[in-house]
Amino acid sequence: MFVAAALVATSCASDEATDAPADTGETDTEEPSTADGTAATPPASDPDASADAPETGSSIEQLTIAISGDESTLNPYTYVTGYPGLNLLGLVFDGLLALDADNEPQPALASDWTVSDDNLVWSLNLRDDVVWHDGEAFDADDVAFTFDYVAENTQSNWTPGVAGVASLEVTSPTSVDITLTEPSVDFAVRPLASMPILPEHVWSGVTDPENSGVDVSIGTGPYSIASYDTGQSYALDANTDYALGTPVADTVLLAVIPEPSTAFAALRTGEVDMVSSIVEPQLVAEFESDADLAVQTGPGFGSTQVNFNNERAPFDDPEVRRAIGLALDPQELIDSVLLGTGTSPNPGFLHPDGPLSQGVVTHEFDVDAANALLDELGAELGDDGVRILDGEPMSFDLLVYADNPTRIRSAEIVSEQLDAVGISTSITSLEPAALDAQVWPGFDVNEGRDYDIAMWGWSPSAQLDASRYAALFHSDPAIGTLNVTGLVDPDMDALLDEMLAAQTPEERDELIGSIEERVAEVRPFVVLFYQDGAYAYRASTFDGWVFQNGQGPLGKLSLVSN
Amino acid sequence: MTTTLRRAGLTLGVLLMAVALNFVIPRLMPGSPIRAIAGGGDVGELTTAQRNALLDRYGLNDSLWVQFRDYLTGLVRGDLGTSLGDGRPVSTHIGERIGWTLLLVGTALLVTTVVGVFLATAFTTSRRRNVDTGGMTTSIAFDALPPFWVGMMFILLFGVTLGWLPTFGATALVGGGGVVDIAKHLVLPASTLILTGLGQTYLVTRSSLIAVMGSTHIAHARVRGIPERRLRYGHTLRAAALPIHTLVLLEVGWLISGAVVVETVFAYPGLGRLVFEAVEARDYPLLQGSFLLLTVTVIGANLLADLTYPLIDPRTRVSS
Amino acid sequence: MTMLQAPPRTGRRRMRRLGLGGVGSVGAVLLSIFVAAAVFAPWVAPFGPSERSGTPFDRPSSTHLLGTDDVGKDLWSLLLHGTRTSLVIGIATALLAIGVGAAVGSTAGLVRGWTDTLLMRLVDIVLALPFLPLLIVASTFAGRAVATQVVLIAALTWARPARLIRSATLEARTRGHVEVAEGMGATRWRLLWRHLSVGAAPLLIPLFLRAAMGAILLEASLSFLGLGDPSRASWGTTLYWANVRSAFLTDAWRWWVVPPGVAISALVVSFGLLGVAIERRLNPSSVER
């Protein structure tokens, strides 16, 4: 009886999956079952797929990608994660500009742009051949609308990016002039290359953007959302009218598989063609030896670091922080935890392969120097091997996310390395919300912090633009929204203010160099490494993946051919 | 009559207690649900005003009493609230997932009961003592297997090595939804629960059979010449049926807990896994809703056991 | 009790005199191996529980009998050190759960009246809550220390024993021990003590063993889900790392995934078999045909 009820309930459940708006040629989620009801892998047996080369223009029937979590209705106000959510958003929506594989802004919806001599007015010319997924034409009114909407509906990721816009003028259906309050060298990246443009004719009626349904997830991008089965999958159909290139697959299926190991097992069996999660280092060799599979590696921009609570003794003393930095050996971490698949850290935070780094400082690892510095500071070695500074033993809690294996293993090694210089740490694994509550309560730096040392990391987006770089260190909470270490350094503030007001890229770059040096000097945190991105896929299905530095291959660059 | 009333009153009391606990416990957890609500990536971008605005919309800045009052009034109306993560009603989330858990647990319960009782009867009443001892020790061995490990081994053997069965999800991504497809995806998770639950059923059945086997009732039946088979499966089993039935329904509680682990290992989209995800995200309404439903299911099973007790009890039937 | 059963053969009679029987002996031997492993682990194990002695993902070799894990810790040593964790948590939790359960159950059975009703309602509530989800929620704010986990698991597993002990208390009452003692002027607490030590003992030991079995499996499940202390050397945690590091997509599952699972099962089985043997001794009618 139970079973019967359950069967009825489940068939009802799979029927309720939300469908996309009627105008795009709605497809029912319940496709006719294949003859034997197996987990079909049409790409593998599809004659087109094995002979496919993206350049020839013939497309793959279907590409299945495993993602680790639901991304809600996949529009700019509802998507959930920075990765892969933002990447997937880029499949459905376009921005005025787009970042290429080296993270340089390139034309997208805007075909070209000029900046006035005083660096305050950006004039963009828009394409005239772009169509929304529902058939309406794209024009400058949509751009104006998007800027207004994002400024008004402030829960958006891009609201701070448009904060510097004084006014926007529609000079013709295919051109706009954007006037800024202050010059911003970053403007091309943020928001022009990152902010998705919304359709005015749809979104002017959206009053509750965070709970908006998939029916308003209409963009100009290479794929449109054909169906969305909550918590389970998305079916994205190729946009045959896409003006900026040709989608490589007729359908992209996104399968939500929370456990990475399950996702990789599915990759092995052919149930999926690509997995969005980074491949564990030890699996790289394993996968590469499999004829059907391949792995693409490249620089990853996510950082792993050791954060100090700069407001709490003894970490309020930059010398102490510097001494600890000297005791940490990033190479050991990269070798043991990442099996070599990592990039050595820049103590100034910026990834060496990223668009901003000036490469002026390198990490120093010197145990003797660390010991010497600690001795100098008066931290005497106690009988139990733990130093005593100002009457307090140097024994601290090292917090770490309990659900992040790489971080935990790193914490274990960090703890060992600190033991060697007489600093004892006890590793406390907390689940994410609990740790966040101590390091970044309410995600608001105004609320203070309550920790000694914590393993932390910033997502790739922190590497891409100057204002986010400033947000890490500025003592003014309005600017330093990411300053979770509580650093207060007037010299740093001055440099950051100058950098944000820079008029030219050259000026900005020079200032960034100085800031990197300053960061290395005051060391509010110690960067340990940047984990390389290694992504596995079925080469026999599709082999045209393009690795975008810091982002990986999942995105527009791979799934659209030009 | 008074017993029924008392029983109903008790159930209500337990339910109320569960509801109250349900409300309090998630809020004891450290950490803010802001990440779940804000969605869209970088939470640090929001100003304090924006954050408060968000929390206000979900009533999370109100005092606990106000929140509790709203929660109760909503509950009475049948409204479980809306998920902080995606703004959809909690009941929708539950509706989508409860079917799968019921399917999984239901199948496991059915097979475990039928196979467990049958095997227990066959072996325990066997003439040969070794058979009984063997059955008992095997059950203890099965009972000792950790469900998540069995799941992993099944994935390894039948999924990765042999490739016979799918290793994740409830349906195939393409062309899925058919009965055969659902059944194929059900095999491994259900088998995991069955294998690890069989031991309990067997042992309980065995002990109630033993209590009955030596009774005069059975002895008389044997003397009267009733054939062995009918004796075993008819008389003995029927006499032992009462505690078996009770414990089977109590197994539901165990199976639901076991389902959390199994759903995780196999990425099976059920209610148990939902609780886990809601905890991670601090999605209070979702957590409360799914938790409540799990509790209600267990309470319901207990109630069912109590109510159908007299129907199965041979003594009451004989007397009426 | 059984009227038509053939008399036991001599061999069995002899074994019964020994006290345990075949099944029980196996259980006892197995358990003593585990206890020995737990006690002597620091000396027998080639490496310490947090010692990174090899390169990560090593295959089994003469130095590392079961290879190494994802950071280079010896899996064989982890298996040995993990015995301690499982045994300590299992036994401590069981003691606590049975202690509380016995106290509550016998008090309810002896005192009766509204105390009884109140306590049994409490038992009903605890039994009605789905325990693993509750454990998941509770460990997020209670933390991951061993003591915390012991208390949490015990807090959810004391209820069923309490109920069983209450029934046993009620039964013993009607059998007369209690009334006789009461008649002789014994106070309530003395009755409780006496009852517990004589009347309830046949019930307590099997209940304790069963509680230990459940606790070991629960701790393993919690650790596997990532709710334990990931740096602790425990079988469940080893399997957690195996899962998160996708060990079972490579050959590594043979020496990383199989041994801890077998160890957990074997330990729980040993408790189970011992339990059967003890029940045979103390309460033959419930186990013997």
pLDDT digits (tens, 9 = 90+) for B16-46: 877 887 777 767 766 667 766 665 445 666 6
Tokens of A540: 């026999």
Q: Backbone phi, then psi, for A99, in 5-degree steps?
A: -90, 135
ipTM of the complex: 0.82
| Separation between Cα atoms, residue C253 and residue A153, nearest integer Å | 51
Mean pLDDT to the nearest integer, A264-272: 84
pLDDT at C193 over 80: no
The pLDDT tens digits for A211-248 are: 788 899 999 999 999 999 877 789 999 999 999 999 99
Which of the pair, B113 or A51, is modelled with greater confidence? Answer: B113
pLDDT at A8 over 90: no
Gap from B280 CA to chain A (nearest CA, Å):
7
The pLDDT tens digits for B180-197 are: 888 989 999 999 999 998
pLDDT at C18 over 80: no
pLDDT of residue A38: 34
Which of the pair, C213 or A282, is modelled with greater confidence? Answer: C213
Touching subunits of B (3+ CB pairs, under 8 Å) are A, C
Q: Give the range among A286-290, A423-427, B31-35, B61-65 with minimum mean pLDDT.
A: B31-35
A251: left (phi over 0), alpha (psi -120 to 50) or beta: beta
Which residues make Cβ contacts (< 8 Å) with residue B302, sequence separation at least 6?
B11, B249, B250, C127, C128
Q: Could you tell me which chain C residue has the CA closest to the CA of B287?
A: C137
Which residues make Cβ contacts (< 8 Å) with residue B52, sequence separation at least 6?
B61
Asked if the Cβ–Cβ distance from A14 to B50 is below 8 Å, we say no
Asked if the Cβ–Cβ distance from B17 to C125 is below 8 Å, we say yes
Asked if the Cβ–Cβ distance from C239 to B149 is below 8 Å, we say yes
A424 touches chain C (CB under 8 A): no
pLDDT of residue A460: 82
pLDDT bucket at C156, cuts 50 / 70 / 90: confident
| Separation between Cα atoms, residue B173 and residue A33, nearest integer Å | 11
pLDDT of residue A343: 93
pLDDT bucket at A7, cuts 50 / 70 / 90: very low
pLDDT of residue B30: 67
C171 touches chain B (CB under 8 A): no
A198 touches chain B (CB under 8 A): no
Asked if the Cβ–Cβ distance from B30 to A437 is below 8 Å, we say yes
A73 touches chain B (CB under 8 A): yes
pLDDT of residue C19: 57
Asked if the Cβ–Cβ distance from A408 to C231 is below 8 Å, we say yes
Mean pLDDT to the nearest integer, C265-283: 87
Mean pLDDT to the nearest integer, C10-21: 53
Q: Which residues of C touch A408 (CB under 8 A)?
A: 230-231
Mode of pairing for the β-strands spanning A110-115 and A121-126: antiparallel
Mean pLDDT to the nearest integer, B245-261: 76
Alpha helices in chain B (DSSP H): 2-28, 34-38, 48-57, 64-77, 90-124, 129-143, 147-154, 179-213, 216-223, 228-229, 237-266, 271-281, 284-312, 314-319
Q: Could you tell me which chain C residue has the CA closest to the CA of A290?
A: C250
Q: Which residues of B touch A434 (CB under 8 A)?
A: 29-31
Which of the pair, A25 or A397, is modelled with greater confidence? Answer: A397
The amino acid occupying position C7 is: P
pLDDT of residue A36: 31
Q: What 3-state DSSP class applies to A18? A: strand
The amino acid occupying position B256 is: I
Question: How far is Cα of residue C116 from the mean position of the Cα atoms in its chain?
Answer: 27
Mean pLDDT to the nearest integer, A117-143: 92
Gap from B151 CA to chain C (nearest CA, Å):
11
pLDDT bucket at C197, cuts 50 / 70 / 90: low
**Inter-residue contact A527 to A345 (CB < 8 Å):** yes
| Separation between Cα atoms, residue A400 and residue C230, nearest integer Å | 10
Closest by Cβ to B295, choosing from C128, C221, C260: C128
Radius of gyration (Cα) for chain C, nearest Å? 22
Q: Which residue has the tokens 């829960």?
A: A155
**Inter-residue contact A139 to A227 (CB < 8 Å):** no
**Inter-residue contact C75 to C259 (CB < 8 Å):** yes
**Inter-residue contact C27 to C276 (CB < 8 Å):** yes
| Separation between Cα atoms, residue B226 and residue B219, nearest integer Å | 10
Which of the pair, A237 or B1, is modelled with greater confidence? Answer: A237
Closest by Cβ to B294, choosing from C1, C4, C133: C133
Q: Which of B257, B266, B284, B298 to mutate: most C Cβ within 10 Å?
A: B257
Mean pLDDT of chain B: 78
Gap from A28 CA to chain B (nearest CA, Å):
11
Mean pLDDT to the nearest integer, A325-329: 95
Q: Could you tell me which chain B residue has the CA closest to the CA of C27?
A: B137
Mean pLDDT to the nearest integer, A451-478: 89
pLDDT of residue A202: 93
Q: Which of B25, B101, B140 to mutate: most C Cβ within 10 Å?
A: B140
Gap from C247 CA to chain A (nearest CA, Å):
8
**Inter-residue contact A337 to A413 (CB < 8 Å):** yes
Alpha helices in A239-394 (DSSP H): 260-269, 281-288, 318-327, 330-336, 367-376
Q: Could you tell me which chain A residue has the CA closest to the CA of C227?
A: A402
Asked if the Cβ–Cβ distance from A33 to B178 is below 8 Å, we say yes
Q: Give the range among A19-23, A251-255, A335-339, B244-248 with minimum mean pLDDT.
A: A19-23
The pLDDT tens digits for C30-89 are: 999 999 999 999 998 999 888 888 888 888 998 899 998 888 899 999 999 999 999 999
pLDDT of residue A182: 84
pLDDT of residue C216: 94
Which residues make Cβ contacts (< 8 Å) with residue C179, sequence separation at least 6?
C173
Q: Which of B110, B148, B174 to mutate: most A Cβ within 10 Å?
A: B174
Q: Which residues of C touch A431 (CB under 8 A)?
A: 140, 227
pLDDT bucket at A47, cuts 50 / 70 / 90: very low
| Separation between Cα atoms, residue A56 and residue A101, nearest integer Å | 21
Tokens of A265: 């097992």
pLDDT of residue A411: 95
* Omega prior to A314 cis, within 30 of 0: yes
Asked if the Cβ–Cβ distance from A413 to C245 is below 8 Å, we say no
Q: What 3-state DSSP class applies to A430? A: strand
Q: Which residues of A touch B30 (CB under 8 A)?
A: 433-434, 437-438
pLDDT bucket at A3, cuts 50 / 70 / 90: very low
C193 touches chain B (CB under 8 A): no
pLDDT of residue B45: 60
* Residue closest to A139 by CA, chosen among A166, A110, A177: A110
| Separation between Cα atoms, residue A464 and residue A460, nearest integer Å | 7
Which of the pair, C200 or A436, is modelled with greater confidence? Answer: A436
Q: Which residue has the tokens 């770089």?
A: A469
Q: Residue A427 pairs with which residues in a beta bridge?
A: A398
Mean pLDDT to the nearest integer, A86-91: 92
pLDDT at A19 over 50: no
pLDDT at A393 over 80: yes
B residues 23..42 contacting A (CB < 8 A)? 29-32, 34-35, 37-42
The pTM is what? 0.79
Touching subunits of C (3+ CB pairs, under 8 Å) are A, B
Q: Which of C34, C136, C216 to mutate: most B Cβ within 10 Å?
A: C136
The pLDDT tens digits for A143-184 are: 999 999 999 987 777 887 888 899 999 999 999 999 999 888
Closest by Cβ to C56, choosing from A282, A429, A434: A282
Q: How many CB atoms lie within 10 A of CB B97?
A: 26
Interchain CB contacts (distance < 8 Å): A and B: 231
Q: Is the Cα dihedral B234, B238, B239, B243 positive or negative?
A: positive
Asked if the Cβ–Cβ distance from B48 to A446 is below 8 Å, we say yes
Mean pLDDT to the nearest integer, A448-463: 90
Q: Which residues of A touch B170 (CB under 8 A)?
A: 10
pLDDT of residue A16: 31
